[in-house]
Chain A
Amino acid sequence: MPDIDVVSLSRLQFGLTAMYHFLFVPLTLGLSLLLAIMESVYVMTGRTIWRDMTKFWGLLFGINFAMGVATGITMEFQFGTNWAYYSHYVGDIFGAPLAIEGLMAFFLEATFIGLFFFGWNKLSAVGHLMVTWLVALGSNLSALWILIANGWMQHPVGATFNTDTMRMEVANFADVIFNPVAQDKFVHTVSAGYVTGAVFVLAVSALYLLRGRHVALARRSMTVAASFGLAASLSVVVLGDESGYTAGQNQRMKLAAIEAMWETEPAPASFTVVGFPDQAGHRTNYAVRIPYVMGLIATRSISEPVMGINQLVEVAADRIRSGMVAYQALQRLRQNRGDTNARATFEAHVSDLGYALLLKRYTPVVTDATDAQIVAAAHDTVPAVAPLFWSFRVMVGLGFFFIALFVTAFILSAKRRLEHPLFLKAAAAALPLPWLAAELGWYVAEGGRQPWTIDGILPTFLSASNIPAANVWFSVAGFVLFYSVLAVVELYLMVKVIRHGPLETTSGRPAPLHAVVAAGE
């Protein structure tokens, strides 16, 4: 078993570097598509302001994209450096979408991004437009494959345990690709990226309009952002609800924890709007509840009950006992591969093998666990309820706020009254909110999956590498320092570029950027 400090530090490092990486990803997703839309308008109408818009937002896109690529490598490498047992245990399945992501998506976006910046004078207008669309396509495809990988961690389908190699292996790759959890997560996540891109364009344009600068460009950018953002913000909430439904089917503990639902809700289940979850006491204080809603979200019906945490803990205890039978059969199989009796027993209980591994925290032998240890391990299946409960509610609240923001923007834009000062201030103030929503969303997704790395298959505390804690202290400290410096530099450059604003031209020849940026203002 890995050192418990290594587990905690590795989780901290993965969480920090993932959340840092995801500061850049949603903007890449959203802005790449917005660039493609703006440039399409330019190619169709021939009006150069649309090319200026593409170039200006493209400049910000480029600064952001470089950081996204650079910090993405950290994510891939960390599975091997800090989660070596995980990599061995599920690499057969989990590695494939990552590799396909590289083949299908990363090469596409990373190869064409260079031409996006350097190809304006080397390609025809249509040729350049194609390059921009390919960058957008690559970004979105990479989200698809990484979410297939992540979806499999949440809902591991299409895989079996191989007793010879002591790991999970692919049984049906189509099941892994068409995993319903992965599909919902993909659309939810890219929609959230589109919202981020749209809010970014809306907010920066609002800042310009508030100061009466770059009015023509800002107004047009806002119009694009308003309709794009409206569609995306509706999609993000609808698909988020779809995720709730699939979680209700597949990750019942996560759903119960998000809802702080300690006891099974008889049908029709009610939904707790707010309250104060008490993890130790297994209750939620001062809860405000709406009848029927939970049943509708989780089961799409008013006749099915929704299981509560306490009942799910009992289910977990049963699965641990069943998993112990599988674990014992596995030991016998390792002594004698031909033991057909043991194999039959193993096959009957293998789906609970992961639950037995939860006992390793209490007894390395597993099969000698006492009732008290089984109960303790069963309680470990409950994630931290209050942070999930609140993160989820803030995220959903923000989701509805974005719909309101974009509905307003859309109506004002249709009436040609976008320059309403109150609206502009609200739009500018909304700038950081999509990032907040996205980070909280990832917390709900990954924190809600605890104590597992692969839901029901492999506990987090077993997944880490057998490495000295000092190494991880070193890298955590290094990343915090290094990433903080980069964040400051990145923000500084972004703000410089935004302050200076776009260069509107009729000749199509922009001033050198370094001169532009150095001019300061």
Chain B
Amino acid sequence: MLDYETLRLLWWALLGVLLIGFAVMDGFDLGVAALLPVVGRSDMDRRVMINTVGPVWEGNQVWLILGGGAVFAAWPALYATAFSGFYIAMFLVLCALILRPVGFKFRSKLEGAAWRRAWDTALIIGGVVPAVVFGVAFGNVLQGVPFHFDADLRVTYTGGFLGLLNPFALLCGLVSLAMVIMHGAVYLAVKTDGQVAARARGVVPWAVLAMLVLFSLAGAWIALGIDGYAVTSAVVADGPSNPLMKTVERAPGTWLENYRRLPLSLIVPALAYVGALATWGLIRAERVGLAFITSSLAVAGVVGTAGVSAFPFLLPSSSDPASSLTVWDASSSHTTLQIMLVATLVFMPLILAYTAWVFRVLRGPVRAQDITNDGGAFY
């Protein structure tokens, strides 16, 4: 049996893996939906685009469901605080996430132009809103949000919804949007050909540029204008999961402390730059398959940067810093972390294997004639 400290670290890493899994897999769905008005000029273009994600969106969406389940099981205090605190934001994400799959499924079932236009709008909303909201959520995590625990460990969030929409958080929302657009465009370049693929390739440089500029801006803001948090009491890495047993201080520059202490961790933000630039180059060279891999790495770099900067914090509290949730005091019990690790080690390789197999079976671009010739199944 692994010790509690190691398990907590592993589950912090696994949380990152699941978030990155979601951003990589569902990210291209969101990106494709957001790109409908840009890349899809005709109804058939749009159907081709939708059908590139048609057979896989259900599986992709499970990354979010699993992410939610894993946070619930491994970080219940984080689950309780973040989901109730971001109440309205969560509701908006839910509606968008319900709208999108239903839109995929229903849009092309009827011919009417008004029907299809209405679902196109729904799909675009379903792509843009979750991408922005997830970025905004990360932006708020990095600034801390106002919440506190009472002696029974009941959490109260004292901020409102509009408070989440502050400038830094909105900047992070745009980073996230640019990121999924880049990723979705690369996916379209892989899964389509002809005009649609050409237009998708044309989007990539702009998306890469936007993402890197916004990402750098956010980084500069973190360095110069955003206070980080630091635990000021002795860290008990295998202590009970009770956030009220420590003290925490806000101080400028602390979010860069991990990079100073462990320079190797600079690999993570570097990955965002290298991955995105490589994607640009590979798209120019028409090596689209490789570009999808580098784009995924860039996504991992962006998401990972937020995690590494804030470590060991999961969710800092701006109103009562001692209530902040960290890797050392917000986890499940030792036993539960152990059980969940075994379950993950057994099933995750299986999931990756059969997901890869399904993508292999479905390999090759989606073409307009496939949709016209073989109806029924296609969206």
> What residues make up the interface of A, taking CB atoms closer than 8 Å to B?
55, 59, 62-63, 65-67, 69-74, 76-77, 79-82, 84-85, 87-88, 91-96, 98-104, 106-108, 110-115, 117-123, 162, 164-167, 169-171, 173, 334, 465-467, 471, 474-475, 478, 482, 486, 489, 493, 496, 509-518
From residue B66, how far is it (CB to closest CB) to chain A in Å? 4
Determine if B10 is an interface residue (Cβ-Cβ < 8 Å).
no
- A70: chain B residues within 8 A (beta carbon): 97-98, 101-102
Given A73-B94, A122-B361, A482-B95, A511 contacting B332 (CB threshold 8 A): no
Q: Of residues B58, B61, B101, B340, which shows the largest number of chain A Cβ atoms within 10 Å of its Cβ?
A: B58
Given A82-B84, A102-B62, A170-B335, A510 contacting B72 (CB threshold 8 A): no
Which of A99, A114, A482 is within 8 Å of B55, CB to CB? A114
A77 near B68 with CB under 8 A, answer: yes
Docked CA distance A2–B102 (Å): 35
Given A91-B73, A98-B73, A486 contacting B102 (CB threshold 8 A): yes
Docked CA distance A85–B95 (Å): 24
Determine if B247 is an interface residue (Cβ-Cβ < 8 Å).
no
Residue of A nearest to B116 (CB): A514
| Those 3 A-B pairs whose CB atoms lie nearest each other, nearest first | A512-B375, A80-B83, A91-B76
B240 near A114 with CB under 8 A, answer: no
B155 near A466 with CB under 8 A, answer: yes
Could you write out 29 A-B pairs with CB less than 8 Å apart? A66-B105, A74-B94, A76-B68, A77-B90, A79-B72, A88-B154, A92-B73, A92-B76, A92-B336, A93-B336, A95-B79, A99-B72, A99-B340, A104-B343, A106-B66, A111-B56, A111-B59, A114-B58, A117-B55, A118-B362, A164-B240, A165-B153, A170-B333, A173-B335, A475-B91, A493-B106, A511-B376, A513-B376, A514-B109
- B335: chain A residues within 8 A (beta carbon): 169-171, 173
Given A511-B375, A514-B375, A114 contacting B54 (CB threshold 8 A): yes
A101 near B72 with CB under 8 A, answer: no
Given A91-B73, A104-B347, A123 contacting B336 (CB threshold 8 A): no
Given A102-B65, A471-B88, A84 contacting B375 (CB threshold 8 A): no
Residue of B nearest to A115 (CB): B358
A169 near B72 with CB under 8 A, answer: no
Residue of A nearest to B57 (CB): A114
Residue of B nearest to A510 (CB): B376
Inter-chain residue pair count (beta carbon < 8 A): 272
B374 near A98 with CB under 8 A, answer: no
A493 near B332 with CB under 8 A, answer: no
Determine if B256 is an interface residue (Cβ-Cβ < 8 Å).
no
Docked CA distance A485–B92 (Å): 16
Given A107-B66, A486-B102, A518-B110, A81 contacting B55 (CB threshold 8 A): no
Docked CA distance A334–B58 (Å): 47
From residue B217, how far is it (CB to closest CB) to chain A in Å? 31
A91 near B79 with CB under 8 A, answer: yes
Determine if B87 is an interface residue (Cβ-Cβ < 8 Å).
yes
Determine if B151 is an interface residue (Cβ-Cβ < 8 Å).
yes
Determine if B3 is an interface residue (Cβ-Cβ < 8 Å).
no
B339 near A110 with CB under 8 A, answer: no
A-contact 0/1 string along B127-167, CB 8 Å cutoff: 00000000000000000000000011111110001000000
A84 near B65 with CB under 8 A, answer: no
Residue of A nearest to B371 (CB): A512
- B176: chain A residues within 8 A (beta carbon): none
Given A77-B90, A110-B62, A516 contacting B361 (CB threshold 8 A): no
B339 near A170 with CB under 8 A, answer: yes
Listed stretches B269-277, B284-292, B348-356; interface member:
B348-356
Which of B68, B106, B161, B344 is within 8 Å of A103, CB to CB? B344
Docked CA distance A67–B354 (Å): 24
Given A98-B72, A118-B377, A73 contacting B65 (CB threshold 8 A): yes
> What residues make up the interface of B, taking CB atoms closer than 8 Å to A?
54-59, 61-62, 64-66, 68-70, 72-74, 76-77, 79-84, 87-88, 90-91, 94-95, 97-98, 101-102, 104-106, 108-111, 151-157, 161, 240-242, 332-333, 335-336, 339-340, 343-344, 347-348, 351, 354-355, 358, 361-362, 372, 374-378
Residue of B nearest to A81 (CB): B83
From residue B1, how far is it (CB to closest CB) to chain A in Å? 13
A169 near B333 with CB under 8 A, answer: yes
Residue of B nearest to A127 (CB): B361
- B77: chain A residues within 8 A (beta carbon): 88, 91
Residue of B nearest to A96 (CB): B73
- B62: chain A residues within 8 A (beta carbon): 102, 106-107, 110-111
A167 near B153 with CB under 8 A, answer: yes
Docked CA distance A484–B348 (Å): 37
Given contacts A98-B69, A173-B335, A509-B374, 12 further A-B contacts (CB under 8 A): A73-B94, A80-B82, A81-B84, A84-B84, A95-B73, A96-B336, A99-B69, A101-B69, A107-B351, A493-B106, A512-B376, A513-B109
B111 near A95 with CB under 8 A, answer: no
B81 near A84 with CB under 8 A, answer: yes
From residue A71, how far is it (CB to closest CB) to chain B in Å? 7
A84 near B80 with CB under 8 A, answer: yes
Docked CA distance A165–B49 (Å): 49
Given A91-B72, A114-B54, A107 contacting B79 (CB threshold 8 A): no
Given A115-B55, A165-B241, A88 contacting B155 (CB threshold 8 A): yes
From residue B162, how far is it (CB to closest CB) to chain A in Å? 12
Which of B79, B95, B336 is within 8 Å of A478, CB to CB? B95
- A511: chain B residues within 8 A (beta carbon): 375-376
Q: Of residues A77, A120, A167, A474, which shows the largest number of chain B Cβ atoms within 10 Å of its Cβ?
A: A77
Residue of B nearest to A110 (CB): B58
- B101: chain A residues within 8 A (beta carbon): 66, 69-70
From residue B11, how far is it (CB to closest CB) to chain A in Å? 11
A162 near B332 with CB under 8 A, answer: no
From residue B133, how far is it (CB to closest CB) to chain A in Å? 13
A120 near B377 with CB under 8 A, answer: yes
- B155: chain A residues within 8 A (beta carbon): 84-85, 88, 465-466
- A62: chain B residues within 8 A (beta carbon): 105
B152 near A166 with CB under 8 A, answer: yes
From residue A510, how far is it (CB to closest CB) to chain B in Å? 4
Docked CA distance A511–B95 (Å): 33
A103 near B65 with CB under 8 A, answer: no
- A92: chain B residues within 8 A (beta carbon): 73, 76, 332-333, 336
Docked CA distance A336–B161 (Å): 39
A76 near B69 with CB under 8 A, answer: yes
Which of B70, B72, B157, B362 is within 8 Å of A115, CB to CB? B362
Docked CA distance A88–B377 (Å): 43
B98 near A482 with CB under 8 A, answer: yes
A467 near B157 with CB under 8 A, answer: yes
From residue B116, how far is it (CB to closest CB) to chain A in Å? 10
- B332: chain A residues within 8 A (beta carbon): 91-92, 95, 169
B377 near A99 with CB under 8 A, answer: no
